Amino acid sequence: MLPDGWLRSTVGAVCAIRNNLRFPISAEERTGMPGPYPYFGPTGQLDSLNHYRIDEAFALVGEDGDHFLKFRERSMTLYFSGKANVNNHAHVIGDSQKCLAKWFHYSFIHRDLTPVLSRQGVGRYKLTKAGLQELEIVVPPREEQLAIVQLLDTWGDAITTAEKLLANSRRQKAALVQHLLLGQTTSWSSARLVEIAHRIQRPADGGVHPVLMISSGSGFVRQDQKYSRFMAGKSLNDYVLLQRGEFAYNKGNSKLYEFGCVFQLDEYETGLVPHVYVCFAMDDALCHSPFFKYLFEADYLHGQLGALVNTGVRNNGLLNIRPTDFMNVMVPLPPMERQKQIAEVLDAASKEIDTLAQNVDALRQEKRALMQDLLTGKRRVKQAMTASA
């Protein structure tokens, strides 16, 4: 049941589709038109031009692309108010008597649009104007729409502020890493990794351990959570049993780590990792493991690992770096007390980042839950209810 005054309708019936305002122009032509006015595609700003075709509030929803399947993580709509341009790969929605452009934006920002999409080859989908017009939308009176979108905007501002604090904290940590780690190594002693660490080739012991893999963006993650499958039985025979505090080098190249990445296992007591990882433990008498955790995360080995790659990437995506060669890389070895001091500073910076990231995630989840209730009339905005009464 919808509240009194709310209407269940379609986009075609209550929204103003303004595709006549689109301005299709090639990238080559745009190079000769630099200016202050944004030029939007379906997922964001592509350029800035010296010309504008739109001067009003509008929302965009993509006409084609592969982003439609990622509606839970990515925004399906954009909102802008002012002078701008839009290419021909997005539908333009303006304000109408019955529906604000921003109401449309919030209504479809994470909506599954696949029921009205048509296919355009492998992995390509199209939202035609007819399909857009068929989409169901719930609309309250304009006064209530305005009150709701203003409330959601306030939450959005809070999230933006929290994201800026998080980004600033990450920049501060990066500066600390540069100053405390990467900028100091020439004044320290150095050693080959094999001289201060030993290989770990511990086989699975038949016990219950999480099966882990290394993600270049987040370190160790459970394999069943990433791929929705459980590895068991004989398939684990070739896995290495890693214990908390030990390290593993993943030879897979990625955007973040061109020549592979090294992470320390610190969120699990034990874990089974693929045998293709080079696993090792630092010598506690010489090394403070957290110091080396941050050193490896900073991609300190990039240049040395790049020099070891001689035939590129294999068919399985792994770099041709032998374990013995990896264990012979050179690493800095400052005095133990200095290792501990640096790790302590970076630990504090990391904890601040974790706290701020959790705050951002919590705000996003709370806003999404609030949107679900407000956009369906389950929760009302008091001032809007009073105005419409």
pTM score, whole prediction: 0.83
Q: Per-residue pLDDT for 387 more than 80?
A: no
Could you tell me the CA-to-CA distances from 38 to 51, 85, 172 in Å, in that order?
9, 6, 31
Q: Residue 11 gets which letter from DSSP?
A: H
Query: How do residues 197-220 score in pLDDT, each as one tens digit?
Result: 999 999 998 889 999 999 999 999
Which pLDDT score is estimated for 123? 65
Phi-psi region of 224 (alpha: psi -120 to 50; beta: other; left: phi over 0): alpha
What is the band of 221 on the pLDDT scale with cuts at 50, 70, 90? very high
Closest CA to 58 of 10, 15, 13: 15
**Block residue for tokens 């270049």:** 216
Closest CA to 367 of 155, 89, 109, 119: 155
DSSP string for 315-380: TTSBB---HHHHTT-EEEE--HHHHHHHHHHHHHHHHHHHHHHHHHHHHHHHHHHHHHHHTTTSS-
HSE at residue 5, side-chain half, CA atoms within 13 A, is 15
Q: Residue 182 gets which letter from DSSP?
A: I
Taking all residues of the chain, what is their mean pLDDT, rounded to a whole number?
92
What tokens appear for 108 in the block? 């479809």
Residue 23, judged by CB atoms within 10 A of its CB (0-12, 13-18, 19+), counts as middle
Helix 142-176 / helix 101-108 crossing angle, nearest 10 deg: 60
In degrees to the nearest 10, what's the CA dihedral of 284, 288, 294, 298?
-70
Which pLDDT score is estimated for 228? 56
What is the band of 183 on the pLDDT scale with cuts at 50, 70, 90? confident
Q: Per-residue pLDDT for 170 more than 50?
A: yes
Residues 348 and 169: beta-carbon distance below 8 Å? no
Q: Per-residue pLDDT for 382 more than 90?
A: no
Compute the distance between CA of residue 294 and CA of residue 302 in angstroms, rounded to an integer: 14
Query: How do residues 301-352 score in pLDDT, each as one tens digit?
Result: 999 999 998 654 554 557 889 999 999 999 999 999 999 999 999 999 999 9
The larger pLDDT score, comparing residue 320 to residue 191, is at 191
Q: Per-residue pLDDT for 105 more than 90?
A: yes
Domains of the chain: 7-139 (3.90.220.20), 189-333 (3.90.220.20)
Which pLDDT score is estimated for 317? 55
Compute the distance between CA of residue 362 and CA of residue 384 in angstroms, rounded to an integer: 27
Beta bridge partners of 118: 126
Share of the chain above pLDDT 70, in %: 93
**Block residue for tokens 């394999």:** 223
Residues 346 and 173: beta-carbon distance below 8 Å? yes
End-to-end CA distance of the chain: 18
Query: How do residues 19-54 score in pLDDT, each as one tens digit?
Result: 999 999 999 999 999 999 999 999 999 999 999 999
Which pLDDT score is estimated for 287? 98
Phi, psi of 339 (to 5 degrees): -55, -45
Tally of CB atoms within 10 A around 263: 21
Which pLDDT score is estimated for 315? 46
Positive or negative: CA dihedral 55, 92, 64, 137: positive
